[in-house]
Amino acid sequence: MLTALVVAVGALVMPVAASGATGDVGVEGPSHSGTGTPTGTKRATSNLWFHDGLWWGNLWDTSSSDFHIFRFNPSTNGWVNTGVKTDTRSSTHHDVLWDGSTLHVASYRFVNDGLPAEPNYPTTMRRYSYNASSKTYTLLSSTQINNQRVEALTIDKDTTGRIWATWQQGNRIYLNVTGTDGKTWGTPFAHPASLSNVSVDDTSALVAYGPGKMGLMWSRQVGDSTDGMYFSFHNDGASNSTWSTPVAAVSGQRSGDDHMNLKWLDSSGGRVFAAIKTSYTSSSQPLIQLLALNTSTSTWSAHTIATVAECPNRVIVVIDESTQRLRTFATYPKPSGTTNSGACTSSGGAIYEKSTPLSTISFTTSKTARIVDADQYVHNVTSTKQNINSARGTANSGLLLLADVNATSRYWHYYDGSGGGDTTAPTVTATSPNAGATGVAVTANATGTFSEAMTASTITPSTFTLTAQGSTTPVPAAVTYSGNVATLNPTADLAAGTTYTATIKGGSSGVKDAAGNALASDKAWTFTTAAAGGGGTPETVTLNATADSYVESGTTGTNYGTSTMLGVDASPVEVSYLKFDLSAYAGRTLESATLQLRSAGSGSVGTQNVKLVANDAWTETGITYSNRPTLGSSIGTLGPTSANANYSVPLTVSGVTGELGQQLSLGMDSTNSDGLDLNSREAGSTVAPKLVLTFR
């Protein structure tokens, strides 16, 4: 048992001055002489965390030959050694989890690539409490997870308080879990699925996600058609061995490798992201990818971060909630003007960033240098399991990355303290019913649309209220949040001929955006319901498509999301896809729905069918013929058509009504070989597809 050391805040600041060499990016930090690869070589693990307005790290202390908890000092851009030990063994890797009240540090002796696990090397988990006054950690307990030396091991915590761990042992994916005390470990066991029988080079990783699930991803490289990256989940509270049937996030030989880094985003509809490495060798094939799980549809999509030609390696992904971006970091060849510039090697290089909006995942070839040692190779970047700049514990955290230079045994780091750049208060950009509206149906909901993503937990019946004129008691209602829209749904019809005031609360006790910024002041508006016996004044809204693309059977892997044209044809098969955001219209009474389209350079003598698409996970820049979602029932038809003409396609009200309050995906296909070309949204707003809805 290690003894906690409570060290004064003014502890020794380690030397951190940058080398000053031309071409250096980032800051050179403490020595890690005495241990190799201290940040780990498998990107499943994390060495940093953010808490109490501070960044912390699990770093090697050369003078004591132990791993210690270090505090990052942004004013000096350097590290402060708190003296609190986390492991006395030099040849260990670690996975660090801060759960909001307790720090968990899993430490394991590691084997190199291609070597089997070895018994009689204990893996430990140490738990620490935190004292906010002294800003120190104190050891609570030290327990043994397993008795194996393994290639990689990760931990995460479920909603019942149990900590899970996973690793590969004996060519099987293994797990262990504590009791609800979070410290008493059971007996390790293999994942029950036959597909968890893997190669000696495979690894696994965990991610807790909601509602109430523990996700497990692993690589499978046995050299046949079952190869890939697999995902399975456990419902919190179920028996330990009860896991879902594994699903391949990607499949096929060389589609996976033993590098993966997982994150969960719960403020945008619930998505799990995995940054992975493949084993492809052709220059145009993806070498690192971002896999995205839509938890509502249980479907995966794959997005290329960088190709084999770009020579990336050891990728991690960080979710920046304030800017609503996915930020990936990996080792790439060093930039020009540095030693060994441009060399494609597994020994290291420089750490670069590639990022993408969360709304439309698309990585370009451009990248930004974050850590460069002009004279040596940098490798093995790490950060935190947490989402940064999030209202849930990391507000205004900024970003901290840590990597190592093995040749000089030095840590290097990059710190961006801008807090993600979001210090702007959110605003309410639209309301429904409109302010001052009259003749509103008594069945209507009230909605408020925000300028940016909000923290869902702050949008409640206490912060979004509806009150009748002359009353001080809010109308009983359910309040929900999805897609930047808050919806207040009264539990009973409103009173006829009555004026109501809807209020979204601002200030410190009101609604807040994802970075923790509060709505500056209350947003209030009034509307009046229709008199008794009246049906209410119809309201018509026109919506632009938020995404559109088409797919073609002759080019099954090609994406046409940036095309100005949408194709619908039977030979070769061309299917068009459209997406509209109906999240603001939950509970409304729909009177009519019309799809407005404009034909492009060619018309058609045939008929095109407009069909519902249940799977909304497709993206404009990711959809191809190979991964296209299935078309459902027809809700409208178009045709015959002529070139360069406008068309309005009536859609069945019942079909669209079922999509109110969420995303509406439509597909268009045809059984006629006389194909039709339509203008896409990239052709300009005047000819872009539109959806016209009339509500009463």
Here the CATH number for the domain that contains residue 548 is 2.60.120
Q: What mean pLDDT is predicted for residues 515-525?
A: 89
Contact 455, 514 (CB under 8 A): yes
Examine the domain organization and report whether 596 and 622 are in the same domain.
Answer: yes
Domain annotation covers residue 10:
no
Instruction: Give the domain CATH number at 474.
Output: 2.60.40.1220
Q: What mean pLDDT is predicted for residues 110-127?
A: 95
Domain end among 534, 562, 591: 534
| Opening angle at CA 180, ends 175 and 182, nearest 5 | 70
CA distances from 179 to 108, 145, 502, 618 (A): 21, 12, 46, 39
Instruction: Tell me if residue 57 falls in helix, strand or coil.
Output: strand
Examine the domain organization and report whether 317 and 437 are in the same domain.
Answer: no
Examine the domain organization and report whether 262 and 292 are in the same domain.
Answer: yes
DSSP 349: B
Lowest mean pLDDT among 34-48, 224-238, 578-592: 578-592
The type of residue at 264 is W
Per the structure, the count of domains in the chain is 3
Q: Quick one: which of 179, 290, 307 has its CA closest to 240? A: 179
Dump pLDDT digits (tens) for 164-190.
999 999 999 999 999 999 999 999 999
Task: Please give the backbone phi and psi of residue 402, each rounded to the nearest 5 degrees, phi first.
Answer: -135, 135
The dihedral through the CA atoms of 656, 658, 660, 665 has a sign that is negative
State both tokens at 584: 């603001």
Instruction: Tell me if residue 683 falls in helix, strand or coil.
Output: helix
Dump pLDDT digits (tens) for 383-426.
999 999 887 889 889 999 999 999 999 999 999 988 755 667 89
Domain annotation covers residue 101:
yes
CA distances from 306 to 325, 354, 355 (A): 17, 9, 11
Dump pLDDT digits (tens) for 328-343.
999 999 999 999 999 9
DSSP E strands in 333-472: the ranges are 350-357, 368-371, 379-382, 399-405, 410-416, 428-432, 446-450, 464-468
Q: Quick one: which of 661, 652, 638 has its CA closest to 593? A: 652
Contact 218, 230 (CB under 8 A): yes
Dump pLDDT digits (tens) for 257-312.
999 999 998 754 579 999 999 999 999 999 999 999 988 888 999 999 999 999 99
Domain annotation covers residue 19:
no
Domain end among 400, 421, 442: 421
State both tokens at 334: 């060093």
Contact 602, 677 (CB under 8 A): yes
DSSP E strands in 192-320: the ranges are 204-209, 213-220, 228-235, 247-251, 260-265, 271-277, 286-294, 299-307, 313-320
Examine the domain organization and report whether 345 and 489 are in the same domain.
Answer: no
| pLDDT on residue 587 | 76
State both tokens at 312: 């990336």
Domain annotation covers residue 592:
yes
Instruction: Tell me if residue 9 falls in helix, strand or coil.
Output: coil
Instruction: Give the contacts of 20 (CB within 8 A, at least 6 positions apart).
Output: none
Name 478's bridge partners. 489
Reported as a pLDDT band with limits 50, 70 and 90, residue 8 is very low
Dump pLDDT digits (tens) for 89-116.
999 999 999 999 999 999 999 999 889 9
Contact 296, 279 (CB under 8 A): no
Model confidence at 254: pLDDT above 60 = yes
State both tokens at 681: 């949204």
State both tokens at 351: 């750490």
Instruction: Tell me if residue 308 falls in helix, strand or coil.
Output: helix
Q: What mean pLDDT is predicted for residues 532-553?
A: 84
Contact 474, 461 (CB under 8 A): yes
| pLDDT on residue 420 | 58
| pLDDT on residue 1 | 31
Domain annotation covers residue 3:
no
Examine the domain organization and report whether 671 and 567 are in the same domain.
Answer: yes
Report how far residue 113's alpha carbon sits from residue 116's, in angstroms, rounded to the nearest whole number: 9
Name 50's bridge partners. 55
Q: What mean pLDDT is predicted for residues 569-581?
A: 95
Burial 517-541 (b: 16+ CB within 10 A, else e): bbbeeebbbebbbbeeeeebeebee
Examine the domain organization and report whether 453 and 359 are in the same domain.
Answer: no
CA distances from 363 to 204, 220, 236, 253, 383 (A): 25, 26, 34, 24, 20
Reported as a pLDDT band with limits 50, 70 and 90, residue 66 is very high
Contact 80, 105 (CB under 8 A): no
Domain end among 509, 534, 559: 534
Instruction: Tell me if residue 653 falls in helix, strand or coil.
Output: helix
Instruction: Tell me if residue 366 falls in helix, strand or coil.
Output: coil
| pLDDT on residue 4 | 36
Domain annotation covers residue 456:
yes
Contact 613, 629 (CB under 8 A): yes
Model confidence at 636: pLDDT above 70 = yes
Model confidence at 5: pLDDT above 60 = no
8 compared with 588, residue with greater pLDDT:
588
Examine the domain organization and report whether 314 and 434 are in the same domain.
Answer: no
Instruction: Give the domain CATH number at 188.
Output: 2.120.10.10
Reported as a pLDDT band with limits 50, 70 and 90, residue 453 is confident
Domain annotation covers residue 137:
yes
Examine the domain organization and report whether 670 and 688 are in the same domain.
Answer: yes
Domain annotation covers residue 91:
yes
Q: Quick one: which of 506, 467, 484 has its CA closest to 582? A: 484
pTM: 0.64
Examine the domain organization and report whether 416 and 519 are in the same domain.
Answer: no
Examine the domain organization and report whether 77 and 107 are in the same domain.
Answer: yes
Examine the domain organization and report whether 383 and 438 are in the same domain.
Answer: no
| pLDDT on residue 238 | 96
Report how far residue 396's alpha carbon sits from residue 177's, in angstroms, rounded to the nearest whole number: 33
Average pLDDT of the chain, as a whole number: 91
- In angstroms, how far is CA 203 from the centroid of its own chain? 21
| pLDDT on residue 689 | 96
| pLDDT on residue 19 | 42
| pLDDT on residue 20 | 53
Examine the domain organization and report whether 403 and 447 are in the same domain.
Answer: no
DSSP 655: H
Domain coverage including residue 440: 428-534
